Amino acid sequence: MKKFIYLIISLVLIFLIVGCNKDSATEWYDSKEAAIESGLKHEGTESESFLSIEEFENETFVVYEYMGGLGVANVVESEKGYGWKRSLPYTDFEVGGELAYSTSGFDIETETGLDVSVLVGKTFDSSIQDMKLFGDGTERKLKVHGDTGFFYAFHKMPTDAVDVSPIVN
């Protein structure tokens, strides 16, 4: 009976160790491109869904559209190579009333410990082609991506400290 209890406890501990090891779920690749290609395939996205690769504070982020929502993943680098990490759910926007655009935001902590704020938004007015971001020290022009209407920005300020407005042409 003691051996059976010992076996059960050992198995539970092994599952806890494997389950708590964040690195165990990461597949490593020789290049960023291979990690991105595999990550997008793993997410179930089409190549048309890819919006951009963003470099911010020496970190690489991939932004893509998935089933009407916006996904953001981090490409991590280690001695093992490059890996794909997406720890946040997809962001989507529901339209209520006559909104021209809507925004949201979230924070990401990367594997290296970098804290990044991400402002995401979606336009519902096809005449809006660009947005202006202000509040993080400099005004920036944000591209509205085609049919999806998504726009986004990576920054260091808290999300509620930045704001956007449409650029009317």
Summarize pLDDT for 44-100 with one digit per residue, the tens.
887 778 899 999 999 999 999 988 889 999 999 999 999 999 888 888 887 767 889
Contact by Cβ (8 Å): 106, 159: yes
pLDDT (tens digit per residue) in 102-153: 999 999 999 999 999 999 999 999 899 999 999 877 889 999 998 889 999 9
- Beta-bridged to residue 65, according to DSSP, are 70
pTM: 0.79
How far is residue 167 from each of residues 7, 34, 133, 140, measured CA to CA in Å? 65, 36, 10, 11
Reported as a pLDDT band with limits 50, 70 and 90, residue 24 is low
**Is the predicted pLDDT of residue 20 greater than 70, yes or no?**
no
Whole-number Å distance between alpha carbons of 50 and 108: 20
Exposure string (b/e) for 125-152, b if CB count within 10 Å is 16 or more? Answer: eeebeebebebbeeeeebebbeebbbbb
Cα–Cα distance measured from residue 160 to residue 105, given in angstroms and rounded to the nearest whole number? 8
